[in-house]
Amino acid sequence: MIKKFLVLALAASCLGANAQNIMNNPGASHANKFEDLGIILPTPNEYRTASGAPGPKYWQQRADYDITCSLDEKKQVLTGSELVTYYNNSPDVLTYIWLQLDENQHSSINNANYQDATAISKLMPLATLQKMENAKIDNGYGDKILKLTEALNGKALQYTVNKTMMRIELPAALKPGQQFAFKLNWSYKISDRMNGGGRGGYEYFPEDGNYLFTMSQWYPRLCVYSDFQGWQNHQFTGRGEFALTFGNFKVAMTVPADHVVMATGECQNYPLVLSAAQQARWKTAQAAKEPVEVVTLDEAKAAEKNPATATKTWVFKADNVRDFAWGSSRKFIWDAMPTYVEGKKIMCMSAYGKEAYGLYRKYSTKAVAHTIRSYSHFTIPYPYPVAQSIEASNGMEYPMICFNWGRTEKDGTYTETSKNGMLGVIMHEVGHNFFPMIVNSDERQWSWMDEGLNTFCQFLTEQLWDNKFPSKRGPAWNITNYMKLPKDQLEPIMTNSENINDFGSNAYGKPATALNILRETVMGRELFDYAFKEYARRWAFKHPTPADLFRTMEDASAENLGWFWRGWFYGTDPCDISIDSVKHAVYDPSLNLQRRGPKPAGIAPQVPAFDGTFMKRNREDKSIVFEVDRDTTLRDFYWRYDRGIEPYDSTINPALPKVKPATEALNDEEKNKYASMHLYEVAFSNKGGLVMPIILQFTFEDGSTQIERIPAQVWRKNENSVSKVFLTAKKVTSMLLDPLKETADIDESNNTWGNVDAAPSRFALYKLNSANPRNAVPTEKNPMQISTEQKNK
């Protein structure tokens, strides 16, 4: 076989540029950016395997709830009683259990008391001073524990409240495989969510004197006890969200008789709470092609004017969910229609006040259906029977239900920004059904595992809704302003929720962008989608950690992504790749550069410049007899040639083969083929520190373009600078890095190169002569076989 090579007639070899860079920067080319995560990740075990899958002994706890509660609209108080059955599926013996009292977030004396730095400004809000003034006075908010007993015998249980956490002392050790049931009575004052903040509470409408209640984090609920952390009982500060245990729920909610209740799960008693007309509409909605108003706009308006004094009890059930939330108001208009995923019907529904009618009636339920179908395509089929969007001037998610925003102007009109914002928040919050409601990560520890993954899928869903949807998070170019911030304003994605400065960019935007880049630019859609689905499949209804995601993505794709996780999730370096220089060369048939062959006759060969100590000592040790001295027949021509005893001259020694040229000239066909070819050596530097693929677009003289994609691994031997040689059939007039803005490059000013060459260098072509013994493949039978040591010499 004849091997063909290109040689540039330049001062330095193009192909050796990378090696030269390393020699010029000793010790500076590596920061271990391509090493596997190794000990950064937890050691695999029987619960979580090295492949990223649940292990053969994986376990998780379970908690079932039977709750009854009553809403006092006039006093804004919720009173409840819950029967909780806790299953110890762990291999550990438990002597206490922990519950979350999230309502204590609103308490002035039992909140988590995580404070931020403050300063005096020229304009101080009155509310800030009032909050400081009343900081140590009980404001009456937070959970009031009325009674706690064993379910079986009614005996009182001992408990301790520490801010937003409550520890229950078990009367006897709870062994593996056992369960414990208790009853807990409680009440709390519902907070004004619009003025006091928080995820749950009420909104008051002074125009019509009515309330809209969003009841979330409303009941004392079990903390997660896991194999990787034990009890997740970190305090709830209002930012880091939730770690929750799967279980079955039955919830009875007593509310004013004219309220409409939307809740997690399926209602068990519609005939008792809906009118005959509403029940008929609900039946029609089951097979409708368009959303059907179950509770109409006129009915909602009428209820607003004449509040009821009686009550009704709505009963809902939900199985295998991690939480339960509900909304209640006489202002609700309710519409519904089905969508289908792999033949299974999911009822998609929306509830909203007249203030949102112009937007929600047209878009909300259809956006819910679209989101369920889209996420099911990219992850796993939606397993629940219901998905709901509730307009509550909010944005928060729970199993099968979420609270969103999207109101029109008073005259019913809306802006395009309002419409797109509403659609985005609906898709995001409905999407949370998958992350973390099904793929149940620990939000309090790793916010990005649900917010980031969900924002990524939201981006995919928005783009499938409308190819020109103005997505704010996901596209690489939208994260550059954040990534170019000073390092003291940045934290790695792998940072606890409470310690992040720019929460939106760090927990939502950057991980969503990273996954989008991983899909579109690094792995490709087919590999990424398969691996991402595998992660969702493996960890549906389980508690994954970041290591499980990282390992699964590699395990299911055969891609080593340690460099990507290190850079995007564990680091703060931005992407900033620059074009530093361009060299241009063209083929010149008139050049006759020959590759050097064997040394001419009479020239002594090179000898080792370094005489190692062991070599010297062996020579001086007279007891050592070398084999070539013991048996002189071993001293062939090469032994004599290496020592300068005999020259290489076949005219003197006819036994030697005649030396043939190392190279031979190209034939006319080959010359014509490469006569119009161009070589470009482009030098790049990694100014930002984040290793990323190099995407280079050439623009040619005729106006056409061509994109070359170099994988990130090109930086593995020198993370600071590399050069690459490109062969083109046409002359390049300009070059552009990252032409489609795929890599989140923070500085585009160094991404271009124009007027690449006025006077190109010239290069010659040659091909190896297979007839030359130096080009032959060494074999035992080949008399011209050259040892590795001799080649190195």
Tens digit of each residue's pLDDT (9 = 90 or more) over 256-273: 999 999 999 999 999 999
Lowest pLDDT segment from 108-122, 364-378, 479-493, 728-742: 108-122
What residues are paired with 663 via a beta bridge? Answer: 768
Give the separation between CA 611 and CA 624, rounded to whole angstroms: 18
pLDDT number for residue 762 = 66
Q: What is the mean pLDDT of residues 291-317?
A: 97
Lowest pLDDT segment from 58-62, 161-165, 543-547, 628-632: 628-632
Lowest pLDDT segment from 180-184, 472-476, 553-557, 627-631: 627-631
Q: What is the mean pLDDT of residues 694-715?
A: 97
Is the pLDDT reported for residue 666 higher than 90?
no
pLDDT number for residue 637 = 78
Please choose, from the candidates 717, 712, 722, the residue with its C-alpha nearest in 3D space to the C-alpha of residue 742. Answer: 712
**Is the N-terminal amide bond of 605 cis, ω within 30° of 0?**
no
- Locus of tokens 């005489």: 611
- Mapped onto helix, strand or coil, the DSSP state of residue 281 is helix
Biggest distance spanned by C-alpha atoms of the chain: 123
Tens digit of each residue's pLDDT (9 = 90 or more) over 78-99: 999 999 999 999 999 999 999 9
Give the separation between CA 550 and CA 227, rounded to whole angstroms: 18
Give the separation between CA 675 and CA 4, rounded to whole angstroms: 15
Task: Tell me the C-alpha to C-alpha distance, in Å, between residue 23 and each of 12, 17, 610.
Answer: 14, 10, 21
Residue 393, sorted as left (phi over 0), alpha (psi -120 to 50) or beta, turns out to be left
Contacts of 197 (CB under 8 A, 6+ apart): 238
Split at pLDDT 50, 70, 90, the class of 18 is very low
- Locus of tokens 């998070």: 473
Give the separation between CA 164 and CA 243, rounded to whole angstroms: 14
The answer to whether 348 and 365 are in contact (CB under 8 A) is yes
The rounded mean pLDDT for the chain is 89
Strand locations in 76-209 (E): 77-87, 94-100, 144-150, 159-162, 165-174, 179-189, 201-205
Residue 123, both tokens:
């304009």
Is the pLDDT reported for residue 3 higher than 80?
no
Q: Are strands 396-398 and 344-352 parallel, antiparallel or unpaired?
A: unpaired
pLDDT number for residue 664 = 73
Length in residues, the chain: 793
- Locus of tokens 């992850």: 379
pLDDT number for residue 32 = 87
Q: Where are the alpha helices (DSSP H) in 48-178?
A: 126-133
Segment (H or E) for 416: helix 416-431
Tens digit of each residue's pLDDT (9 = 90 or more) over 307-344: 999 999 999 999 999 999 999 999 999 999 999 999 99
Share of the chain above pLDDT 70, in %: 87
Give the separation between CA 63 and CA 98, rounded to whole angstroms: 12
Task: Tell me the C-alpha to C-alpha distance, in Å, between residue 235 and each of 75, 166, 375, 493.
Answer: 28, 10, 31, 21
pLDDT number for residue 769 = 59
Q: Cα Rg for the chain, rounded, in angstroms?
A: 36
Split at pLDDT 50, 70, 90, the class of 641 is confident
Give the separation between CA 5 and CA 487, rounded to whole angstroms: 46
pLDDT number for residue 399 = 98
Compute the half-sphere exposure of residue 323: CA atoms within 13 Å on the CB side of its CA: 29
What residues are paired with 251 via a beta bridge? Answer: 67, 316
Is the pLDDT reported for residue 161 higher than 70?
yes
Split at pLDDT 50, 70, 90, the class of 752 is very high
DSSP 507: I
Q: What crossing angle do the helices spanning 525-539 and 357-378 adopt, rounded to 10°?
A: 100
Is the pLDDT reported for residue 451 higher than 70?
yes
Predicted TM-score (pTM) above 0.85 = yes
DSSP 442: -
Give the separation between CA 737 and CA 739, rounded to whole angstroms: 6
pLDDT number for residue 777 = 40
